[in-house]
Amino acid sequence: MKRYIAETIGTFSMVFCGCGAMAVNEITNGAVTHPGVAITWGLIVMGMIYAFGDISGAHFNPAVTVAFAYAKKFAWREVPKYIIAQVVGAILAGAMLWFLFPESESLGSTVPAVGFDHYKAFVLEILLTFFLMLVIINVSTGAKEIGVVAGIAIGGIVLLEAMFAGPMTNASMNPARSIGPAIFSGKWEPMWLYLTAPFIGALLAVVSCKLVKDEQCCDDDC
């Protein structure tokens, strides 16, 4: 039970801070700034990894959980429980943001930029999650993202991707993160791509890892 609570709290914290920075930036006409939003995402991910990495593995992302299971680093029977915990955390964060910042129209929702085709956003989200999972699986111990290197590396890649891709897709890389704000902002139209692309990207990262370092990448140590 502690692992599921950790996943819920960690996902809540990540979505609340990251999407909260986006909401505050929106209602203050850019006071946080885009770099500020990207830094917020990177720091909260890093902080939650250090807080819960040795308890639950600090997945905070259904795509990461499924990819770890596919890589034989995590038990498939645990996947539904982790995903439920992550989605609950994201929904609670969305509710808190809606309560605190009702004047925000987006609440940090994931919506492609105006003029950026959804199929392009789909491809970009696949690539973003691919890069993210590639880093995660190479710095993790089993299905646990622990240690100084893991927190810095994963937080850094999230910051990097939010920095350059945020203006185009809001750089979700996480189905739970997209669901939470969408429930309270009503921005569901492009949700299909945010619910599918991260899984594809994460699984492709595992496949690529198997190609370059089979034994270390996918030992059955779950």
Q: Transcribe the chain into DSSP letters.
A: -HHHHHHHHHHHHHHHHHHHHHHHHHHTTSSS-HHHHHHHHHHHHHHHHHHHTTTT----SHHHHHHHHHTTSS-GGGHHHHHHHHHHHHHHHHHHHHHH-TT-SSTT---PPTT--HHHHHHHHHHHHHHHHHHHHHH-BTTB--SHHHHHHHHHHHHHHHHHHHHHH-----HHHHHHHHHHH---TTHHHHHHHHHHHHHHHHHHHHHH-HHHHS----
What letters, b where the CB count within 10 A reaches 16 and e where it falls short, cover 137-169?
bbbbebbbbbbeebbebbbebbbbbbbebbebb
Query: Residue 207, Cα to own-chain centre: how many angstroms?
Result: 20
CA distance 47 to 120: 31
Could you state, in order of their start, the residue ranges of all structural domains in the chain?
Answer: 2-217
Its CATH architecture, for the domain 2-217, is Up-down Bundle (1.20)
pLDDT in tens, the chain (222 residues): 999 999 999 999 999 999 999 999 999 999 999 999 999 999 999 999 999 999 999 999 999 999 999 999 999 999 999 999 999 999 999 999 999 999 999 999 999 999 999 999 999 999 999 999 999 998 887 666 666 788 999 999 999 999 999 999 999 999 999 999 999 999 998 999 999 999 999 999 999 988 887 665 655 444
pTM higher than the cut 0.85: yes
Bin 47: left if φ > 0, else alpha if -120 < ψ < 50, else beta.
alpha
Question: Which of 172, 158, 170, 180 has the alpha carbon at shortest distance from 26?
Answer: 170
Distance CA 221, CA 98 (A): 40
Q: How far is CA 195 from the centre of its chain?
A: 12
Structure tokens, 49: 């990894």
